[in-house]
Chains A and B, each alone.
Chain A
Amino acid sequence: MAIPILEELKNELARIYSAGSGLAKGDPRLQKYMPALRALGQKAPVFNALADKLSALIGGGADSQENLLDLGVMLYSVLYTQSALPSVAEWEDMPFREEDLPNTCLPYTEIVSITEMLKKKTINTNHILILTELFNKGKHNDPRLYKSYCQAITASGTGTSEYIETAIMPSIGEPIMQRLQEECDASTGKRAAKIKKLMETLNSKKTVQEGK
């Protein structure tokens, strides 16, 4: 019962904040909340305090702006206490992957610079050097880079995309397949076809590897 009234009162106050506190004097839309707040106030004193502040605001006067601000502060304080946890009785268990996802291992500055680099349309040898160094250190498998790898494989400037397809992605293996599938589902035409072909290549390499 309490929550809908507070939410409605919040929206009415939004109108007053926008238009100015003078508008609140004798306002019937605010007035209609008084009886309900008083009734609730019999069980919890905080609603009486809200009703007092609202009454002062509706009454008008030289300090309408203070009354509006004080009512706003009190109302939001009460609203913060009303936030509840959801009921999940009818929810299902989230499905899990079987294999562990590799742990994140790169710092902020590297993630940001590599992500920006992989967005570029013009690729140069320096970019390949950076990726090679990352691969040689074994840090290429940070899952936060998977999206960027997938987006870069169809960028122009073949050097980087080739390196990603032939070295980085096979090394990552199964964890990146889900990401590739999502990219494929979201793509059309040549891009989708390229990603599909890449996934087939990776799958066949995996089969050969397992066969050994």
Chain B
Amino acid sequence: MNMTEDFIISYAGNAQAAAKGKATANDFVSLSITEDESLIFGQCRGSAKKPYSCSVDFIDAEKPVPRCNCPSRQVPCKHAIGLLYAYASQKKKFKTEDVPEDVQSKRDKIQHRAERSAEEKPKEMTRAKANAAVKKCQAQLEGIEIAEKILANIALSGIQSIDAQGSLLLSSQIKELGNYYIPGIQASFSDLIGEVSLCLKNQIYTEAFIKMNYLRALLKKSKSHTENKMADFKAFPNMTDTALNDSIHSQIEEQMGYAWKLSELEEHGLMRENDELIQLSFTVYEDAGKMQWIDEGVWASLKDGALFYKFNYRPFRAGSHVQMDDSSFPVFKVSDVHIYPGELNHRIRWEKSEMRLTTLKDLNAIIGFARTDFVAAAKLVKNQSKNPLSDKNPVLLLKISSIKQDKNGSLAIVDEKGSAVLLKMEGFSYLIRQMSKKQLLGSAIVCRFGHDFSQSLLYATPLSAVTGNGIMRFQY
């Protein structure tokens, strides 16, 4: 078992949690390891009278299981992380012992559960379930109708008519939408109201119009999609699949507020097997509409250079109970990558993985996948953006042939054929000006595209640069 600091930080979730855990590494009064090195365990001094019994089980190397009887709800707790640090730095102090009884009993339970679910037949659709699904679709359609009326009223009276009282009335109407299984639509309305408040202060309405357009398109598509689903369920036992194509090839379900289960993604074949993934960029931002923090990672596949998003959602009300994600540096070997329906940049998730250090070969592989034709890249972006429900800011990997600047200091990256993409500098992207020729020319830049309507220009915000000797992160 090769225990590195990178692994521990990644396992802890973020560097702060790792640091808290590291502080407990010297509080262990006993340290043990099994002969096959599949389990490390020990007793750690804490705030209670008796030391806490703590272990990390590597019986499944891709999914180590931390256990501790401390009162913390954090998983892994600081004692489990401390145990890993203790193993990394004081391996010789670990005595070889048998698996403790309580851990063995838990291992047996997990094994038994896995065998039972392997034997279980897939849950079949019954008439009762189909009827329940039809009722849910009916409720959703009622909610969509109410939402359409709300939007129509805003369009009829105008944004400027929404004063403080009007805003309160709208907020209570939006709250009512929570009764109709359309939380995504509800969140989009909350977003719009938030944007309208901003617009009324600064008198710039563009974003509010864009959100109204989005809602119009969302409500139209939600209505037709839900009607199709209802018809499919009503046809039971001879169920049709009119709505299936939209369900699994577009984001309409998520946009309406549905949260996919990993088993459902697996069922629909939305998976990639045996992939190696590396994070190229990370950031954290607030989603006021859904009242949550979002930890967003941009990941690349070493198999084919596809760029994905990995999200971690932290509702405001959950506070510090939901662990935060962090920047990640190793390569993750994942046997099963679950892919959410989407377009250029799908969202992905995985449950089990192994880590290894990133090599220069990995960086060169990523550079090899970068797009060398910026005109073709722009076409892809515009094609996706013209759909009102699509992500207007896709992320692409572009290969730099040269970098140009104008009299005002604006920068553009240029491809082999001389086509250029204007760079919009944000975050730490000013570092581009401090990099060397060797680092930049021939490197791959991870760019998030955007549209400047006032100048009819397509621009890109650099998120990171993958060079021959490392990754320069312009976010985190």
Q: Which residues of A contact B (CB under 8 A)?
A: 3, 7, 10, 13-14, 16-23, 64-66, 68-70, 72-73, 76-88, 90-94, 96-101, 103-113, 143-144, 175, 178
Contact = CB atoms under 8 A, between A and B. Distances in A.
| Most B Cβ at <10 Å: residue of A20, A68, A90, A175 | A20
B216 A85 contact: no
Nearest to B17: A109
A83 B420 contact: no
Contacts, number: 196
A100 to B, nearest CB: 5
| Most A Cβ at <10 Å: residue of B374, B385, B422 | B385
Given A7-B453, A85-B419, A103-B470, A109 B437 contact: no
B160 A98 contact: no
23 contacts: A7-B456, A17-B212, A19-B160, A20-B158, A64-B156, A65-B153, A73-B213, A83-B453, A85-B419, A85-B421, A94-B403, A99-B436, A100-B438, A101-B435, A104-B428, A106-B15, A107-B327, A109-B14, A110-B15, A112-B476, A113-B16, A143-B431, A178-B434
Interface of B: 9, 14-16, 151-153, 155-161, 205-206, 208-210, 212-213, 216-217, 282-284, 324, 326-329, 374-375, 378, 382, 385-388, 392, 402-406, 411-412, 414, 419-422, 428, 431, 433-440, 451-454, 456-458, 467, 469-473, 476
Nearest to B422: A86
A178 B431 CA distance: 11
A17 B158 contact: yes
Nearest to B206: A14
A65 B440 CA distance: 51
B217 to A, nearest CB: 5
Contacts of B328: 107
A22 B158 CA distance: 9
Nearest to B328: A107
Given A65-B156, A93-B404, A86 B216 contact: no
Contacts of B382: 80-81, 83
Contacts of B324: 109
A16 to B, nearest CB: 8
B209 A17 contact: yes
Contact of B15 (A94, A100, A109): A109
Nearest to B475: A108
B156 A21 contact: yes
What does DSSP make chain B's interface, helix, strand, loop or mixed?
mixed
Contact of B378 (A85, A99, A113): A85
Contact of A91 (B208, B212, B387, B404): B404
A108 B284 contact: yes
Given A73-B388, A96-B435, A103 B471 contact: yes
Contacts of B411: 94
A148 B224 CA distance: 53
Given A82-B456, A108-B14, A110-B15, A22 B156 contact: yes
A161 to B, nearest CB: 23
A20 B161 contact: yes
A203 B375 CA distance: 46
A76 B284 contact: no
Contacts of B454: 7
A65 B476 contact: no
Nearest to A72: B213
A90 B159 CA distance: 43
Contacts of B467: 103
Nearest to A63: B152
Contacts of A14: 205-206, 209
Given A108-B284, A113-B16, A100 B155 contact: no
B86 to A, nearest CB: 18
A206 to B, nearest CB: 18
A88 B431 CA distance: 22
Contacts of B404: 88, 91-94
Given A85-B458, A96-B435, A69 B403 contact: no
A65 B472 contact: no
A12 B440 CA distance: 44
A10 to B, nearest CB: 7
B343 to A, nearest CB: 14
Contacts of A73: 213, 216-217, 388
A144 B427 CA distance: 9
Given A101-B431, A103-B472, 20 more contacts: A17-B209, A65-B153, A65-B155, A72-B213, A73-B217, A83-B453, A83-B457, A84-B378, A84-B458, A86-B420, A88-B404, A90-B406, A92-B404, A96-B436, A101-B472, A104-B473, A107-B326, A108-B327, A108-B476, A178-B434
B157 A20 contact: yes
Given A21-B155, A109-B15, A143-B431, A72 B216 contact: yes
